[in-house]
Structure 1
Amino acid sequence: MNLTSKQRAYLKGLAQTIEPVFSIGKASITPEVTDSVAECFNTKELIKGTVQKNCLDDVNEVARTVADRTRSTLVQVIGRKIVLYKPFKDEPEIKLPK
Structure 2
Amino acid sequence: MNKLTNNQKKFLRARGHALKPIVMVGQHGLSESVLKELEISMTKHELLKIKIRAEDREDRQRMIDEIVNVTQAHLIQVIGAVMVIYRGFDEEPEIILPRK
TM-score, normalized by length of structure 1? 0.90
1:10 alignment counterpart: 11
1:86 alignment counterpart: 87
Runs of 4+ in 1 over 6 A off after TM superposition: none
1:47 alignment counterpart: 48
2:24 alignment counterpart: 23
| CA-to-aligned-CA distance 1:30-79 (integer Å, 9 cap, x gap) | 12111101100111100101012xx2253232112101111211111111
1:50–1:81 Cα contact (<8 Å) kept: yes
d(CA) in 2 for partners of 1:61 and 1:78? 15
How much is the aligned-residue C-alpha RMSD, in angstroms? 1.2
User: What SS does the corresponding residue of 1:42 show, helix, strand or coil?
Assistant: helix
Comparing 8-17 with 55-64, greater Cα deviation is found at 55-64
d(CA) in 2 for partners of 1:36 and 1:76? 20
Q: Which runs of 5+ in 1 are unaligned?
A: none
Taking the TM superposition and a 5 Å limit, the aligned residue runs for 1:27-38 are 27-38=28-39
How many pairs align?
A: 96
More helix by share: 2
Percent identical across equivalent pairs? 28
d(CA) in 2 for partners of 1:5 and 1:74? 12
